[in-house]
Amino acid sequence: MEELRFFQTPAPHLKSPVTVPKIMFMVVVALIPATIWGIGFFGPKLTLAPLVICIFSCLFFEWLDCKIFKKPVTIKDGSALVTGLLLGLSLPPGSPFWIAIAGGGIAIILGKQMFGGLGQNIFNPALVGRAVLLISWPKLMTSWYAKTPFAFPSIEQGLVAMPQGVDVITTPTALTLTKEYGFQVLSQFEPRLLWRLFIGTVPGSIGETSVLLLLIGYFLLLGLGIVKWDIPLFFLIGLSCVALITGQNPIYHLFAGGAIIGACFMANDYTTSPLSFKSRLIFGFGAGAITGIIRILGGYPEGVTFGILVMNAVVPLLDKLLPRRFGVKSS
């Protein structure tokens, strides 16, 4: 009679058919509408180079780190591709090539591989790269371009000051103008502002302008069960509460800047967000509230990057105070 042998292996014991490469591939698919819109709206000349260089620099630095430290090469899991795409979409149109290379290296080395690689990083790698670039080269990271019909001229100059016979011009963003003049002045200056923010005909980062297309991508991931609804919803609630308390238009703050791409594609990151339902609500609300506080009271017109990174740092504490009970059905 054949002897039976028993093996004891560590959890998890249930294998899911949804693999990391499949998840990363679907995230890329979900970002394609906003990416195509950014390339078409700002023009390939200003957008293709930063996007492509960001993606390839992230892949290269991932490969280089694995080779240097003699680890299995992980570029095929798609995580570096997603990091490069998100970082590229968060850059202003017309960013110089070396900004994209530096951002990719910082995101992968400092934001991901230094902590041990995929699944072990504390902070969202793309936001680490963007934060370092924003602090180190603030002028380059806040120089915005847009086609002439869609640019915001300075309010003192008025609509009649728009130049003729040029393709693109430098222009402030809606958040910059709001920071300087207030939402009421800007909304009187541009009555269709909320609609323009929703469809994406405003200056901004390459992939953050179209709320509509970003939401289409997010709901695709939500329908496939790849992401959850809790963190994005409470991010937007936190941002709206700060806007209401300070007397500003909450819809404007939800549509403006990187609120949607941050809430739906960055704060929702598996590795850098908490595990339990209650802690995820606190995480999302805190990230949105900090974003609103920085926008309205801070020195930067935008606060999504630092709002999410600050709450990333709080995740270990949230997981300790409100641990997830495995085997119990969550809300």
Work out the pLDDT band at 296, boundaries 50, 70, 90. Answer: very high
Q: What is the pLDDT of residues 257-289, one digit of tens each?
A: 999 999 999 999 989 999 999 999 999 999 999
Closest by Cα among 313, 201, 198, 314 to 259: 198
Residue 109 per-residue DSSP state: I
Q: Is the pTM of this model over 0.85?
A: yes
What pLDDT score does 92 carry? 94
Phi, psi values for residue 53, rounded to 5°:
-65, -40
Query: CB–CB of 245/131 below 8 Å?
Result: no
Work out the pLDDT band at 176, boundaries 50, 70, 90. Answer: confident
Q: pLDDT averaged over the chain?
A: 89
What pLDDT score does 28 carry? 96
Q: What is the pLDDT of residues 182-241, one digit of tens each?
A: 888 888 888 889 999 999 999 999 999 999 999 999 999 999 999 999 999 999 999 999
Angle formed at CA 104 by CA 54 and CA 274, multiple of 5 degrees: 110
Angle formed at CA 124 by CA 126 and CA 320, multiple of 5 degrees: 175
Query: CB–CB of 296/240 below 8 Å?
Result: no
Least confident of 96-105, 124-133, 151-160, 211-220: 151-160
d(Cα 158, Cα 72) in Å, to the nearest integer?
57
Q: Residue 115 pLDDT more than 50?
A: yes
